[in-house]
Every structure is written in structure tokens, then in C-alpha cells.
Structure 1
Amino acid sequence: MRYAHTVEQVRAAEGELRQLLPEGTLMQRAAAGLAATCAELLRASGRIYGSRVVLLVGSGDNGADTLFAGARLAARGARVGAVLLDQDRVHRAALTAFRAAGGVLTGDQREGCAEIARADLVLDGIVGIGGRGGLRAGALPYLRAVERAGVPVVAVDLPSGVDADTGEVAGDAVRAAVTVTFGTHKPGLLVDPGAEYAGVVRLVPIGIAVPSAAVEALQHADVAALLPRPSGESDKYRRGVVGIAAGSARYPGAAVLAVSSALHAGAGAVRYTGSAAAEVVRAHPEVLVSDQGPAQAGRVQAWVVGPGLSDGEEAQRTLDQALDAAVPLLLDADALRLLARRGPVPRPDLLLTPHAGEAVALLAGAGVQATREQVEASRLPYARRLAELYGCTVLLKGSTTLVAGPDPAVPVRVNPTGTPWLATAGSGDVLSGLAGSLLAAGLAPLDAGSVAAYLHGLAGRTASGAAEGAPITASEVAAALPAAWRDVARGAETVLSLGKQLRIG
């Protein structure tokens, strides 16, 4: 499990540890880890000795970490220049150490931009984790110089311009090839859009003890521990029977995809109800079908309602019957918009799976106005808000998938898998059937949503192939679910690399 903590939590933990250690110890630990990562990058590109490194140095501890790391690189033979963005507030001890190691202060803006154009590596120490909003005007010429030169950037603790607690990017921000973060991950490094600016994230332990995380990300071992496994005594009911109410005359394929993924995700049996029964049975003859709605479909351990359902009177009756059923319930697609018209129906066994547009409708149904752009820019706050408003678990889909429960004390889960190739018609229907199968197997909504997102992402990677991947269909994603399941179950993170390679050049 990877954990991320808020700025307030990190500062409190650092404050407690500083009282027990000699002054400057934490800063030196951070600088040592930062310098080691930079040296690794420079070595991968050919050399450390004689390489050119430019430091963009702001005020406070973040700038000090950058200068101390620069001093270590200079001592190893790198030519290190520092641009001081706030000379009156620079950390004096760090500046002294930098100069003593042979570091050079770059003077005016024109000279600093020229140095960036010749650099092998730039360190972003402009703004620390307490920064809010985009970069200030004084930093923009250097940002533009970096962009023109195409020089790789190592962000110090967090890319400048990214909100550490939410991942919001309110203006101009640094795009890093690598972010070296200290003590613990920050939520903004794991949640888009901030995660997209962070590049590869390397954690440097500095000894702080932090409390319960604000955000967490499952890894292979965590998912493997949650996967339901049949025993010798299992039958279809013990494995879990999932009911799926989906599809319509216009969208019969949504039903087929949801059913297919449920079958590939370990359901003991699938009961389908809806107008696409002929298409479903043609594709999957093992499915039990009915046209009587959830109330008359037979015994299930969980319901999935919504993919391709439409929004007429029959769809509303289907939703009402599923809400009345005393089993866990997943709502997706059209069912979400129907629920938004009705308003919150708080229940702990409910899992909602909206994308940003559907989240806007749900928010409006609870009296909160927002735009799609606002939700996409502030995924973490809106996921939490939706879960609290509706009193249930919310899986907010998107470039970063988040799973938030109704209790604000429980960490939000960020999914680390996935690929842009999953942005294809029917992909959400596959996710719904997969998560519904896990609900029927007995997983709690938070676990079912988290495991489903993880496996869905892995299946997308498997289907699209290694490295850059290739276009895929939702049917191919559903078919790849068993391979993703096996990969997780054996604990080998071989289907994809959850961290990119640290290299430049």
C-alpha cells in the first residue's frame, strides 16, 4: 500500500521529529535522497562529472533542500548553478554550503535562462508543499526556458504549481520527469491533474511518523489479499450471484458487456433482467434471464443497475425495485441520472460509479452546483463530497479513478493502474459488471470498487499490450480480466510497470 498525507499532517510530524534531532538533520536526509536520485539520472545519461545542473531556488525549506542537494552534486564534479528567485529569503546555511562546494550563483534572468538552455538537468525548488495557486510571474520566464530546452526536471517534494493536498493545478505549473518527495507521498502526487505533472515519483524516507493517511493506493499484494477465492465447499451461491439490470433496445451491448465482465470476474452465476435477454444469452448461454425486473429475477447477492438502461418509466421501476432489494447495489450510467432526480438515498451498501459529467448531475441532485471542468480539476474534494452527500461509496472514474467512502476519516483510494486506451465505448460497463461481481462475492463497497478499478486497469494494459499499447475494445478488456486476476494472485507485477523507468536522454 502506498500512503499519502496532507500538508498539515506532514508538518506536524516533521515538527515532532525536529525536537528530537540535531538542527538540520531532516533537511540533510532530504537533500541526500534528492542528490542520489539526481546522480542516478545523470549517470544514466552518461556522466555526473562535468554535467550541467541548474537549481531553481525559492524560499524556505524547499529551496534549502535544493541548495544542499546541489552542494552534494557539485562535490561530485557536476557544474551546478543556482537561480535565486527570492534572494532576501534564501536559507543562509544552505547557500553557504552550496558556495563552499563550488556551486555558482546565476545572476540575472537572462543569464539563468541561458544556463537552463545548456543544462542536463534542472531541479525545481521554487515552491514547497505549502504553495497554492499557479506559479508567480517571477518564475514564469524560467519555466518557459525549461519548456523550450526540453531539459528534464526533478521536482523537489512536489512540482511547483501543484496543490499538495488535492492535485489541483490552478495556473502555470512545472512538469517534472521525476518528483523526489520526502517522508510520505502527498495526495497531489497521486491524483490528476497533479499526478500528470509529477512524472515518476520517488519517495525518500526521512524518519517521520505520520498518522492515518488521507489517500492510499493499493498495490498487487493488497489486491491479492482481497480477491475472493472458492473453496472445496463452494457452490454458485457461496461464490456470489450477481443480478444485472442493464441494456435497452438502443443499447443492448451494454448489457452484454456488463454480464461478460461479471462472468470473467468470478461470479458464481449471473442473473440478467432487461430487454436485451436474447443478445445476452446468445453471447453467454450460462446466464439466467428474466424480463420481470429485479423484484422477480430470483436470488442474488448484489445488483448492478444502469448500463444502457435508458431513462423511461420502465428504467425508473427497475431502479426502484433494486433500491428496495436488501442486497448491495451498484448504480452506473443511466441509473445515476435517475438517482440524481430522486436525490440521495443514504445506504452503506451502495456503490455509485460516475464519470465527471454524471458526478455533476448527482451533485445537482443534492443541491450542489458544479461544472464538469471543476470536477475534473478537483477530483479528490468532489469525490469526498459526493460520498458524504449520498451516504455511500463513490467510484469517480477518469484519468485518475478515486474510490471514496462516506466516512471522511477513511482514506480515499487512488487507483494506480490503467491506460488511456481504456477511454473506449463500453469500458465503464465492463467496470460495473466486474465491481458488481465482487460485491456479490462479499467485498465491502470500498474494497469492491478499489479492486475492480485495479483489475480493470490491469486488464486494459494486458489487452492493449506492453509499452505504449494499442487500441482496444471493451470486449477485449472483459476477456483480459482472468489474466489480470492471475497476475495479481501470483503477486508478480509483470503485466505493467507501476513506476516508469528513471532515465533521461
Structure 2
Amino acid sequence: METVRAAEAALAARLPDGALMERAAAGLAAACCSLLGRGRVYGARVVLLVGSGDNGGDALHAGARLARRGAGTTAILLGTRAHGGGLAAFRAAGGRVAEDPYEALAAADLVLDGVTGIGGRGGLRPEAVPVARAARGSDAVVVAVDLPSGVDADTGEVAGEALRADATVTFGTYKPGLLIDPAREYAGALRLVDIGLGPHLPSVPDLEALQHQDVARLLPAPAAESDKYRRGVLGVVAGSARYPGAAVLAVAGALRGGAGAVRYVGPARDAVIAAHPETLVHEGPPDRAGRVQAWVVGPGTGEGPGAPVAVAEVLASDVPVLVDADGLRHLTPEAVRARTAPTLLTPHAGEAAALLGTERAGVEAGRLAAVRALAARYGATVLLKGSTTLVCGPGGTGPVRVNPTGTPWLATAGSGDVLSGLAGALLAAGLAPLDAASCAAYLHGLAARRASAGAGPITATEVAGHLRAAWQDVREP
């Protein structure tokens, strides 16, 4: 968060004293009015949890604005000192400091969490924990100031107890901790308040999140002279006697992801042809299957002796390769780094932990660090699947892309196989691995939202079936 602090300092130096905090407080108060309902501000009971830093000052100035609109405002002072100007403004507007914090919280309609800011580390301090629990246990709407207290703004980690918010009002730019799990789940609905930081922020951010127009610009579109080879032929090595469905789903993702043709190699040929008769099937080995522009290897290949051989043969090719699922078991950093063509790895947290030689819980608690470490160790682009899907370019440097689409219903068998085929098709079409992975995750998430209609169980087959509609949503919103 040093870049945010530097931007705030540069902007504050050009403004009258206190003006930047007033900008933030104005946006925060407006968001609170919206959450309360415009007609319910007068007489509403608002409680501020005030720490020692600037977030506490933001909360106090916002509380003063709400008090002037008729809300009953009470501050609970949790730090060693409160922001002087903010506390003076709050009291001048009629706000009061609570004598009994739990009595105030029990009657609150809205709680403003201004305990810690972007510099907070290691969870809430012990003295703040019971108050935070009382706030969360009340019937009040909890609104975090800039980010929920107790989460790590830089990494999205939650190392101790944190206060879960219903909504977070953040200032100037989104912080990584608002976008990456596990902290993201503490943030609730996000609202960004523009306080003028834009010109003072670095041109290359730590995180990126693609939007419809970004994906539309990257997606391939056939021209009049296109044929199946120009559109991209994807080779797929997937499935086994035990997991034939993985091959069917990977091929489905590829065909509905725009591949001009799919060459399938593996023991699930009959199942693939039955489901997708347009597939070109081959006995193998992969290097004799015919010309391809990219390979996908690993979904459902199991633990048989043929799997490591297939991975080695595909890695020996001179085209982009996506390695997923069982294929990840047979990788070494040396084999991937020796390739002349790019490699894309698509592990979930458990597979990432195995590749890094660590525990799954560590990956889930520190997803940003894990995806960078994997990309650096293997010299490959990495798509780390999960509740927050992250994509990092080879070497672990540069912005990490956070996928903003999806639904918890995507946690279903086979959905990763569909994603592999989709990303592979985009690789075969010529997209760089970072773009192919990011666009695939984006479309995959949109398709899942369509399949679930926002609130229902889905299957991987249904996700694949909605990829065409997701593509259309992006190209013609």
C-alpha cells in the first residue's frame, strides 16, 4: 500500500489542509445515506468504531455529516487517541462519545468500521475484538471505511480476527485485499469513491481486473478468409478409462471457445465422438496426431503410466501448452523452463500446494503470494483457480489479474476441464497465455452465472453450454 500512501501524500500536498479527508468523508457519508435509505437518515442510529488512524478520522467526519442530516451518531473510541480534527467536527455536529459501547451497538441501525486502515497487520487488537463481535452480532448494517479492519490490504490475507462488513466504501483505488480471498469475503459489496488519486497512482498497478470491453478487444474473430487452421487447432490429451468425462468436457470447452478444430488423443475416443462428432480423434502419441497450434494436457488422465509420457511429449512440442489437473503431477520446473514455447499452468489450491511443496491452507490464506511464487518457480503463466481466480505472467512479476466473474456454484466436478479447453482454444487462436487465461476465466465465470441464473446449482456441461451466450454478452453487451 506504499503506492497508495504516496499518491495520497502527493495529492494532499496540493490541497488545503484536511480537504482530502473531507472528500473521503463526503463519499462515505453519501454511501451510508444510500444504505440507510434516503428517507431514513433522519433519526437513524449510527455508531462509529474509531481507531487512532486516518480511517478513524474519515469515520468521524462522515459521522459529523450524518449528524447534521439528523442521524443520532455515537462514537466508540478504540485507539489510544482519536483524530483531533475529526473528533472536534463530530462533537460540534452533535455527535457523542459512548460510555457503554455495547448498549450503543445493540440499538444501532448502521455501524461504521474505522478501527484500522491500510497499514493494519495481523488482525484486530485484543481490546477491539469484543466490540467488533458485538457489532457483527447486532442487527446493524456494517460499513467498512476503506477496507474491513483486520484484513491485510496488500495480500488479502486474514491473519487474525477481522470485522466482516456488509459493504466497504474504499477511496481512490481498489486495494488488493478487497479483491482477493479470504479478505474479499469480509468486504461485502464494494463502492469506490473517487477522491482524485488517479493522476498520482502508478501507471502499472499491482492488480488488474478485466472488464467486458477489455475481453471483447482480446477475443479472436474469424475473418472472411479464415479456415479451421487459421482459427486455431487445439490438441487435447485428456481422459482415461476411469474419467472419460474429463475428455468430453475439455473438448466441449475448446469447441465452444472458438477452436477451429480439436484433435483429441486419449482412451476416451468413443465418449468424445459420441458427444462431439466434429472432433478429430487419434490413437496417439501426441506428436503423431497432426498439426496443432496449442496443446491441453492433463484433465482426467489419472495415475496410469501413460500420463507422464504424454506430458513429456507435449512439453517437447514447440507450441503453447496448457497443463492442468493430473498433468501437473508430472511437471518439474526444469522441464517447463527448458521449453522454447510458452506454458500455462492451471492448478487449484491443492495442486498449487503440491507444486510449491507447501500446505494447501497456506496457499488459500496467501493466494497472491502463491500465484507469484508458482509463476516465478516454473517460469510459466499461472492461473490459480478458486473462489478468487488469479492469473500471473511468467516470472511472477508484473500485475496479477483478478477475475471478477463467477459464482460459488462453479465449485462443481468438471468445471475446471471446461476452463482448460476454453483457455486452450484461445491459446491456439494466438492469444498470449496471460490473455488466454484471463479471457477464459472471465467467459467461464459469465457462463456459470448464466447457467445458475444467479441462484441455482449447475453442472459443468451446463457451463459449457452457456459459453456461446457469454461470448455474445461480451462482444455485444
Give the deviation of 1:406 after TM superposition.
2.0
Q: Is the 8 A contact 2:108 2:139 kept in 1?
A: no
> What residue in structure 1 maps to residue 68 of structure 2?
75
Name the amino acid aligned to 1:226: L
Secondary structure in structure 2 of the residue aligned to 1:394: strand
> What residue in structure 2 maps to residue 427 of structure 1?
415
> What residue in structure 2 maps to residue 59 of structure 1?
52
Q: Is the 8 A contact 2:333 2:378 kept in 1?
A: no
Q: Is the 8 A contact 2:372 2:397 kept in 1?
A: no
Corresponding residue to 1:277 among 234, 251, 269: 269
Determine what percentage of the aligned residue pairs are the same residue. 65
Q: CA RMSD in A?
A: 1.3
Give the deviation of 1:343 after TM superposition.
6.2
Q: Is the 8 A contact 1:346 1:391 kept in 2?
A: no
Secondary structure in structure 2 of the residue aligned to 1:410: coil
Give the deviation of 1:293 after TM superposition.
1.9
How is 1:343-422 mapped onto 2 (pairs within 5 angstroms)? 344-345=336-337, 347=339, 349-364=342-357, 370-422=358-410
How is 1:259-298 mapped onto 2 (pairs within 5 angstroms)? 259-298=251-290
Give the deviation of 1:313 after TM superposition.
2.6
> What residue in structure 1 maps to residue 195 of structure 2?
206
How is 1:229-248 mapped onto 2 (pairs within 5 angstroms)? 229-248=221-240
Q: Deviations over 1:285-306 (max 9, x none)?
A: 1111111121001001100000
Give the deviation of 1:25 after TM superposition.
1.3
> What residue in structure 1 maps to residue 42 of structure 2?
49
Corresponding residue to 2:108 among 119, 123, 127: 119
Give the deviation of 1:312 after TM superposition.
2.9
Distance 1:85 1:448, change over 3 A: same
> What residue in structure 2 maps to residue 4 of structure 1?
none
2:427 is the counterpart of 1:436: no
How is 1:244-263 mapped onto 2 (pairs within 5 angstroms)? 244-263=236-255
Q: Deviations over 1:430-476 (max 9, x none)?
A: 0000000010011100000001011111111111113xx21111111
How is 1:163-242 mapped onto 2 (pairs within 5 angstroms)? 163-208=152-197, 209-211=200-202, 212-242=204-234
Give the deviation of 1:408 after TM superposition.
4.2
Structure 1 stretch displaced more, 399-408 or 345-354: 345-354
Secondary structure in structure 1 of the residue aligned to 2:337: coil
2:476 is the counterpart of 1:487: no
Name the amino acid aligned to 2:104: E
Q: Deviations over 1:369-428 (max 9, x none)?
A: x21011001101100110011101000001100001124442100011111111111111
> What residue in structure 2 maps to residue 311 of structure 1?
303
Secondary structure in structure 2 of the residue aligned to 1:271: strand
Q: For 2:163 and 2:476, how far apart are their aligned partners in 1? A: 38
Q: For 2:297 and 2:26, how far apart are their aligned partners in 1? A: 53
Secondary structure in structure 1 of the residue aligned to 2:331: helix
Gap regions ≥5 residues in structure 2: none
Name the amino acid aligned to 1:422: L
Secondary structure in structure 2 of the residue aligned to 1:321: helix
> What residue in structure 2 maps to residue 463 of structure 1?
451
> What residue in structure 2 maps to residue 159 of structure 1?
148
Q: For 1:280 and 1:259, how far apart are their aligned partners in 2? A: 8
Gap regions ≥5 residues in structure 1: 1-6, 365-369, 492-505
Q: For 1:421 and 1:409, how far apart are their aligned partners in 2? A: 31
Q: Deviations over 1:118-157 (max 9, x none)?
A: 1110000000010001111111121121222132111000
Q: For 1:89 and 1:140, how far apart are their aligned partners in 2? A: 18
Name the amino acid aligned to 2:468: P
How is 1:90-129 mapped onto 2 (pairs within 5 angstroms)? 90-107=82-99, 111-129=100-118
Secondary structure in structure 1 of the residue aligned to 2:143: strand
Corresponding residue to 1:139 among 102, 125, 128: 128
Q: For 2:349 and 2:338, how far apart are their aligned partners in 1? A: 21
Q: Deviations over 1:77-117 (max 9, x none)?
A: 1000000112x42111111111000111112xxx1111111
Give the deviation of 1:341 after TM superposition.
8.9
Secondary structure in structure 2 of the residue aligned to 1:150: coil
Q: Is the 8 A contact 1:346 1:392 kept in 2?
A: no
Name the amino acid aligned to 2:298: G
Secondary structure in structure 2 of the residue aligned to 1:399: coil
Q: For 1:343 and 1:114, how far apart are their aligned partners in 2? A: 63
Q: Is the 8 A contact 1:393 1:445 kept in 2?
A: yes
Distance 1:163 1:346, change over 3 A: farther
Q: For 1:391 and 1:288, how far apart are their aligned partners in 2? A: 32
Q: For 2:43 and 2:230, how far apart are their aligned partners in 1? A: 66
Secondary structure in structure 1 of the residue aligned to 2:284: coil
> What residue in structure 2 maps to residue 454 of structure 1?
442
Q: For 1:85 and 1:234, how far apart are their aligned partners in 2? A: 66
Distance 1:399 1:304, change over 3 A: same
Number of residue equivalences: 473
Q: Is the 8 A contact 1:350 1:392 kept in 2?
A: yes
How is 1:78-89 mapped onto 2 (pairs within 5 angstroms)? 78-86=71-79, 88-89=80-81
Corresponding residue to 2:460 among 474, 481, 488: 474
Secondary structure in structure 2 of the residue aligned to 1:463: helix
Q: Which has the higher contact order (CA 8 A, sep 6+)?
A: 1
TM-score with structure 2 setting the length: 0.97
TM-score with structure 1 setting the length: 0.92
Give the deviation of 1:42 after TM superposition.
1.2
Corresponding residue to 2:34 among 28, 34, 40: 40
Q: Is the 8 A contact 1:344 1:389 kept in 2?
A: no
Q: Is the 8 A contact 1:254 1:426 kept in 2?
A: yes
Q: Is the 8 A contact 1:311 1:338 kept in 2?
A: no
Structure 1 stretch displaced more, 375-384 or 140-149: 140-149
Q: Is the 8 A contact 1:83 1:112 kept in 2?
A: yes
Distance 1:341 1:444, change over 3 A: closer
Q: For 2:71 and 2:466, how far apart are their aligned partners in 1? A: 48
> What residue in structure 2 maps to residue 19 of structure 1?
13
